Structure 1
Amino acid sequence: MDTVTIKKRLEFHTQRLDNLYVAYNKLLSGGVKSYRLDDRELTRLDLGKLSDEIKDAEEKVDELTALLNGQSARKAFSVIPRDW
């Protein structure tokens, strides 16, 4: 991927993450009974799903930031169990 594409994707996912944070905090504080995020209506019952979406968005932002800084997108390693 080129730098321009990475920057656009990073900007998009950062904005998405900010919106998810706002929705989560509004629902968690109890100030609202429901919160509208784009075309979805979220309630306190959706906090678990929203938390998972936040985690995914954070991972995507971290991955794109690493790509932008010239690092590999993911650091993978393997473990080979051995029975001696």
Structure 2
Amino acid sequence: MADRPVSRTGKDSDGDITSLCNPGDFWSPRKKDDAINDIESGVHTYYVPWTSGRTPIRVVNGASGKYLRTDRDQTDRNNLNDLPDC
């Protein structure tokens, strides 16, 4: 199992996360569905490193299916949207 840092995200035209990225890492970019499978099966974990610590990326069951998100702060916003594009 690998613990993979994420510094960028791919997004579609609606702003939905489509991939996780960390430039220079062999696994990057990782498609959303593959990352979801990695997390749910326990093969890999993904996290966002911040200067104040790290935030795990988790899988959420939404109205339109599974998606990736973080909960870095007390807002209901998905902080993955704040990362630069891949």
In which range does the TM-score fall when normalised by the shorter chain?
under 0.3
The TM-score, its normalising length taken from structure 2, stands at 0.26
The structure with the largest alpha-carbon Rg is 1
Q: Which has the higher strand share?
A: 2
The TM-score, its normalising length taken from structure 1, stands at 0.26
Q: Which has the higher helix share?
A: 1
